[in-house]
Structure formats: structure tokens, C-alpha cells
Amino acid sequence: MSNVTVIGAQWGDEGKGKIVDWLASRADIVVRFQGGHNAGHTLVVGNQTYKLSLLPSGLVRGKTGLIGNGVVIDPQALLAEIDRVRAQGLDVTPQSLRIAENAALILPVHGAIDRAREVARGERKIGTTGRGIGPAYEDKVARRAIRVCDLAEPETLDWKLDELLLHHNTLLQGLGAPVFTKQDLMDWLMALAPRILPFADRVWELLDEARRAGRRILFEGAQAVMLDVDHGTYPFVTSSNTVASNAGTGSGVGPASIGFVLGIAKAYSTRVGAGPFPTELFDETGRLLGERGHEFGTVTGRPRRCGWFDAVLVRGAIRVGGINGLALTKLDVLDGFDEIRICTGYTLDGIAVRHLPAAPAASLRTLPVFETMPGWKETTRGARSYADLPAQAIKYVRRIEELVEAPVTLLSTSPERDDTILVRDPFEG
């Protein structure tokens, strides 16, 4: 049996939550390995809807959940999320959830810096959530981060806060924003420490023990390949590496342990925030896709930009993301269209190009080349086998496979967990 790593193959919001939830029923452990509480997964289980940002989705299925060292953790946000799901009847305890002791923390000063910078950018906003994710990752690579394990050592927090505030208060003053005091941050951390520390553990060791015992591990990514800090549409990206190879780095396992890589892609395209989006639709069709797909950010509530499926973008994501197979979601949103279009190439200043340019100005000038296919009038919603799909819908899926050069191994036809067509079991490798 293989482990499975799930990552987004577009700009996030592809429906990873449902797919991870579906796979988690057959896993033993579910691991978050990057990102922070700027990502959101929505899980529909019976009559309950869970909105998770930091908690591994497998907790909903009674599985062990691990938060790896690659995640930046806002302790207050994490505890609020735990309290919220507990109120929904989900018991999250130190027995079911373990947090890497070497994971970096997000402090209130990080959110303040994030928001002040975004205001200062004016018309050139990146579109961050303002939750401090980027500044927390900056502190991590600058070696001034406060980590989970530091909560047990007030003397360590004392000198680390001095160094951290020397940097951040200088920035805040320069941006004309209020500064922070050391005592306020110390009090904030000390108040949260007794609730966070019982969850702390050596996640790398837990995963090594699980590997040796032959347990199935599901690695759960946040955001998506086109938001990767190296491989995405920089600078309109997140602050971490979202590709599958980071599952090992972000949790403490070797690359051989990440197993089968399942990329999640919508049957169309969406994006939240600023940045290039070659297939974006500004017409009634774009509005209709957003309305049918309920395209609003789980965390931010912001409306998502909508467009046709971009096969060039997804093909690139498959290559750099290490994706072995696709889970195609929200096929039912395309029901009823007379025609459906797929982006099969780009032009830049009238010249054909094979990839979205890395340079920001060039990427914004890139135009899509579309192929048009007939739509279907029948419904695909709730289909659980290929026999239940209209012939034209099957042709659309097959054409996507040809263009992205990877098989569709799962097909989702509604938000309901069991409305899923399994073509190939990722856990079988």
C-alpha cells in the first residue's frame, strides 16, 4: 500500500477538503505539511459542515491528525478552531492531534505587519489575507521565529522577543502603524502556552514509527501549485512551497514516503486575489460559474474570479508538482452549457508560447488560445460511475487527460462525500 499526498493543481479552492475527507476514511494518519490559517477546507459530513483552516481534515473521520513543522501556526486561531469543531461534536484532544514542536508560531505582530504592508502597496496589492503568514515565514528563515517548543521556556521567549521586536517595530514605525510591547506579547504567549503545549510532539518521529508499522499516511497540502512561492505566479503567491516534494520537508520524512501524488483541479478555473489569470471570464458565463459553484473563499469570504479550464497551466503544475493523477472536481457546475471551452495554449504579444511567463508584466499580457467543445444538457450531479455520465461529459474529461498528460483518477460530481467516481485507488500506488 502506498501513502498519498494531496495538493492543488490550480490556484487553490479546488475542493481538496472533500477529496481528503474521502481518502481519510482509508488512511491511518493525516498530516498538514505547509501553509497556515489562510487556507480553508470545507467538509460536508451528514448534516454537519466543517470549515477547517489548520486542523488536518482526517480528524473529522476519527483519524490521527498531525500538524507538521512546515506549517506556521497562529495558536489563538488554532484553539478557536478546536473550540468551534468541539461545539459541533468533534472531540479534538492531545490523543487525536499532535503538533510539531519545531513549528513556527504566528504572533499578532505578524498580522499587523502583513496588513500595514498591503495598505502601503496601494494599487499593487498582492491580495494577502492579512493573517501574518508571510511575515511568520520570513521570521523562520531569518532565524528569529518563536516556535511551539519555546512556549515551555519563558527565558527563551524573553530574548527571542527582543530580537523579533527590534525588527518588526522598526518596520511598523516606518509604515506608520502602532508598535507592540514585549510584555504584551509575552503575556499573550504565556496565556496560550498551557493549552498548546499538551499537543506538542516530535512529528517526524511519529511518522517514522508509522512508516515502520506499515500505516497509511495521507499528506494534506494547502493552497496549490500555482501559488507556490517558487513555481507559482510570483509575487501573487503564498509564502510556502505547495508542491508535493515539500510534504517531506514540511513533516520530517524522506521523499520516498510521500507516495502517490494526487493533484486536485476543478473542471473550470478560479482564483482569489490579484495576479494573472489568462482564462478569466468577465461576462455572464463567468458570473454563472461563480454562482453555480458557490465560489466564495472559505477563509476570506471573497468572491473568486472564474474562467475556463486552463490545460496549459495544469500541465505545468503536474510536472513541477510531481502529480501522478488528477482528481477533477465540480464537473456538475458545467451542466447545461451549450459550449465549453478549454485553454490549450497562449500567445504573448502575438507569438505562441508554451508556458505562462515567469515575468509578472509578461504574464499579465498573456492571452489564451481556446478549443471549443459541445456541452451537455443532462445532469452529472451525484454520478458515481462513468456509466452515469453523459457521453459529452466523458469526452470532456478524456480531452483534459490528453491535454494535461495525466490520468483523471478521481471524479467528483457534487460536494457530497460519496458522489465520487473512483478510477484508480491512490492508496494502491
Contacts of 197 (CB under 8 A, 6+ apart): 148, 151, 152
Place of cell 459553484: 293
The amino acid that residue 210 corresponds to is A
Question: Buried b vs exposed e over 245-284: b needs ≥16 C-beta within 10 Å?
Answer: bbbbbbbbbeeebbbbbbbbbbbbbbbbbbbbbbbbbeee
What letter does residue 334 receive in the DSSP assignment?
G
Strand locations in 357-398 (E)? 367-374
Looking at 13, 139, 150, 310, which residue is catalytic? 13
Nearest residue to 305 (alpha-carbon basis) of 134, 114, 127, 122 = 127
Is 231 labeled as catalytic in the residue annotation? no
Query: What distance in Å separates the CA atoms of residue 63 and residue 46, rounded to the nearest whole number?
Result: 17
Burial class (CB in 10 A: 0-12, 13-18, 19+), 164: buried
Which SS3 state, helix, strand or coil, does residue 339 take?
strand
The amino acid that residue 377 corresponds to is K
Which SS3 state, helix, strand or coil, does residue 164 take?
helix
Is 332 labeled as catalytic in the residue annotation? no
- Cβ neighbour number for residue 159 with a 10 Å cutoff: 9
Contacts of 124 (CB under 8 A, 6+ apart): none
Contacts of 96 (CB under 8 A, 6+ apart): 59, 62, 63, 64, 65
- Asked if omega into 235 is within 30° of 0 (cis), the reply is yes
Beta bridge partners of 342: 309, 371
Which SS3 state, helix, strand or coil, does residue 91 take?
coil
What letter does residue 234 receive in the DSSP assignment?
T
Beta bridge partners of 35: 71
Residue 240 CA neighbour count, 13 Å, CB half = 32
Looking at 21, 37, 41, 114, which residue is catalytic? 41
C-alpha cell at 171: 518596520
Interstrand relation of 325-329 and 367-374 (parallel, antiparallel or unpaired): unpaired
Nearest residue to 14 (alpha-carbon basis) of 331, 302, 323 = 331
Query: What distance in Å separates the CA atoms of residue 65 and residue 85, rounded to the nearest whole number?
Result: 14
Please give the positions annotated as active site: 13, 41
